[in-house]
Chains A and B, each alone.
Chain A
Amino acid sequence: MKDQNIIQTLNEIAEDGIPASLDMWSAIKDRLQPGRPVSRLVRWTPVTRLGRACLMLVALLLLGGTVYALNPALDQVFRAFFPGWQYVEESHLAQEVGLSQTIGGVTVTLERAYADANEIIIGYTVTGASEAAHASHISLTDEQGRVFPEIAGAGVSGTSDLLGVQLRPGEGAYVSAFDASIVDGTPVTLSFHLTMHLVRFVPAEQPAPAATLPEPTGSTVTIAPALTMREEIVGGPFVFDFSVPFTPGRSIAVHQTVEASGVAVRLEKVIIAPSETRAILCFAPPDGADHWTLIATLNAGNGEEVPLSFVSPLEGGSYEYCQRASFPQPLHDRSGLYKLTVTELMGADLTQIPTRDIRLAGPWVFHFRVP
């Protein structure tokens, strides 16, 4: 009877919030892809609940209550590749996908997927390959057909002392990250279509010719042909359709301009999400070089200067040269006054041999508050 009161109250709240007349069929029908072949649905190999339950039981016994449903090798790759992974897992932000596809005896299992405002990250395992194979020609698109460019990847096969992983021949665990800049707004979930081929590296049949470079002294330096490799497809295409909850993170519109060494650098915005902290920096490219990059650090108000991990140009840039500067440390829970310091701009003229480098010293310092 007492529990009945709780049940009654929750039912009343639920009925107030969601009417019994709710009808979402037409919305769902509209979202179904027309003409989807049925055969694709039955090609998936089920990942059994029993198998997962056994894994969890073993993990519980060994780890005293900590549950690791994720493939251990893949978990190691995630942790090495993605500093914010522990937070993502503990906060249940990643989607357990568990879709497998087998082609020619090689099975690819899409195990985990995660999406936030900066990156979409997938983790997959390979079994049954005759030799070390990894995914290539990866394409990630959404329901509107928009393409999410792959920006980074990592993986392990065989034995890795660094990761403490020993895999059997033909097994591998891999993580790929895709740029999520084109996601509009803050959707609850994102639906993706992923295709990939498995490839292996084989020596190229025609080695590259030797290169001869002029030296300032008048002598010449001959560079021996490197052992060039090419990719050979060993399986695919592996195709996966899946949905992932979207973590919006925090976006701070900064719009500050700082001038140093005759160059005005503008910090457009900063996006803080578990995958990384990303700063969008723009400047008119100085004369003398056609490719520019920058060196920067980020201080999240705790005195620690976090160096950036990589810089890449934004697509569709105009006269201004906008760069995407990524800081991998998890700063998703840090609020307060941040400081971003661009210490140097580095340019290279790739039309010159050897290339001519230009370095412009800053600093360009930006202060902004993160709520």
Chain B
Amino acid sequence: MDERKAIARLKQGDIKGLETLVRKYQVTATRTAYLITRDRAAAEEIVQAAFLRAYERIGQFDSGRSFGPWFLRSVVNDAVKYASRNSQLVSIEADEEEETALSDFLADPAPGPEDLVEAEERRQIVWDALGTLPPQQRAVIVMRYYLGLSEAEIGEHLDCPLGTVKWRLHAARKRLQELLHSLQASRETGR
């Protein structure tokens, strides 16, 4: 069943339509919530609640639009709310002079056996650095780099103007760069 038919059936009260949408979006939605909340159980609960809410409100949904952005917007907002309530930000002193790009830091053009360990460490460093970002900035990074949304689409998701998105994205990137360097430096010192 394609998405359009699924929504039409759901609007008629047929939960088979919901099942189609759940199976299509559950993994992406839960991973998105997980990256923002950093808590798998919370991510699953948020996504389940979002599907239930979608079921309740499908009458409001414009069938001419795609379900995915409408649904993921709800998941992102709930994940940010959850993360805001449970945020325990780690304060890390970053070197304001460092301007090496995050992508340079992450560059790994020739993965070999030794690099597999580095890849694992790289994931851990990014994970830790993400955790130190305020939830709104974390959400912007996740939407831009995990969901692949444009800045305009992020603005639509977060109900904020394009300028605010650009600023948040810039601030998030900058903050992430600083944190990555600080984390890497502290790990190298600890070796």
Specify the chain A residue showing the minimal Cβ separation from B108.
A5
Q: Does B5 count as interface, using CB distance less than 8 angstroms?
A: no
Say yes or no for B168: interface residue by CB 8 A criterion.
no
Q: Does A20 contact B (CB under 8 A)?
A: yes
Q: Which of A15, A44, A188, A248 has the most CB of B within 10 A?
A: A188
* Bound: A136/B46 CA distance, A: 32
- A56 and chain B: residue at smallest CB distance: B159
The answer on a CB contact under 8 Å between B34 and A9 is no
- Docked complex Cα distance between A22 and B13 (Å): 25
Set of chain A residues within 8 Å of B68, measured between Cβ atoms: none
Q: List B contacts of A3 (CB < 8 A).
A: 103, 145
Give the residues in chain B near A17, CB-CB below 8 Å: 31, 34-35, 40, 43
A29 CA / B22 CA spacing, docked (Å): 10
Q: Per a CB cutoff under 8 Å, which of A10, A32, A69, A245 touches B146? A: A10
* Contact status of A6 and B18, CB under 8 A, knowing A13-B35, A14-B35, A60-B161: no
- Given the known interface contacts A2-B103, A22-B26, the answer about A7 and B57 at a Cβ–Cβ threshold of 8 Å is no
Contacts of B66 in A (CB 8 A): none
Asked if residues B85 and A247 are in contact (CB atoms below 8 Å), the reply is: yes
CB distance from A9 to the nearest CB of B (A): 5
| Any B CB within 8 A of the CB of A251 | no
Whole-angstrom distance between the alpha carbons of A16 and B119 in the complex?
13
A sample of 15 more A-B contacts (CB under 8 A), given A5-B108, A24-B44, A93-B81, is A7-B145, A13-B35, A13-B123, A14-B34, A15-B31, A18-B40, A22-B26, A23-B23, A23-B26, A31-B48, A31-B52, A32-B18, A42-B11, A44-B57, A188-B46
- What is the chain A residue whose CB lies nearest that of B43? A18
- Residues of B with C-beta under 8 A to A15: 31
Q: Are A188 and B82 touching (Cβ within 8 A)?
A: yes
Kindly identify which residue among A7, A9, A28, A95 contacts B18, using a CB–CB cutoff of 8 Å.
Answer: A28
> Is A234 an interface residue, CB under 8 A from the partner?
no
Whether B148 lies near A7 (C-beta < 8 A) is yes
List, sorted by A's number, 16 A–B pairs whose CB atoms are closer than 8 Å: A2-B101, A2-B104, A10-B145, A15-B31, A16-B123, A22-B44, A25-B23, A25-B26, A29-B19, A41-B59, A56-B159, A67-B159, A93-B81, A188-B42, A191-B52, A245-B85
User: What 1/0 mask marks residues of chain B from 117 to 148 whose CB sits below 8 Å from any chain A CB?
Assistant: 00100110011000000000000011001101
Which of B40, B48, B101: most chain A CB closer than 10 A? B48
Q: Tell me the minimal C-beta distance from B48 to chain A in angstroms.
A: 5
Please determine whether A91 and B57 come into contact, CB atoms closer than 8 angstroms: no
Residues of B within 8 A of A42 (CB): 11, 59
Question: 1/0 per position for A188-206, CB-CB distance to B under 8 A?
Answer: 1101000000000000000
Nearest-Cβ distance from residue B78 to partner chain A, whole angstroms: 6
CA distance A15 to B13 in the complex (A): 33
What's the dominant secondary structure at chain B's contact region? Answer: helix
Chain A residue nearest in CB terms to B46: A188
Q: Mark B25-49, 1 if CB is under 8 A from A, else 0.
A: 0110011101100001011111111
Q: How far is the CB of B24 from chain A (nearest CB, A)?
A: 11
Interchain CA distance A44-B60 in the complex, whole Å:
7
By a CB distance below 8 angstroms, the chain B residues around A7 are: 145-146, 148
**Interface pair A93/B85, CB less than 8 Å apart:** yes
Contacts of A9 in B (CB 8 A): 106, 122-123, 126
Q: Tell whether A242 is near chain B: CB-to-CB under 8 Å.
A: yes
Whether A209 sits at the interface, judged by CB under 8 Å, is no
- Min Cβ gap A16→B in Å is 7
B101 to A, closest residue via Cβ: A2
Q: Which of B22, B52, B59, B78 contacts A25 (CB 8 A)?
A: B22
Q: Give the chain B neighbours of A60 by CB distance below 8 A.
A: 161
Q: Report the separation of the CA atoms of residues A189 and B161 in the bound assembly, to the nearest whole angstrom.
A: 28
Query: In the complex, which residue of chain A has the Cβ closest to the Cβ of B78?
Result: A245
B160 close to chain A: CB less than 8 A = yes
Could you mark each residue 135-153 of chain A with 1 if its beta carbon is under 8 Å from any beta carbon of chain B, else 0?
0000000000000000000
A99 to chain B, nearest CB (A): 7
Q: Is A259 an interface residue (CB 8 A)?
A: no
Q: How far is the CB of A368 from chain B (nearest CB, A)?
A: 22
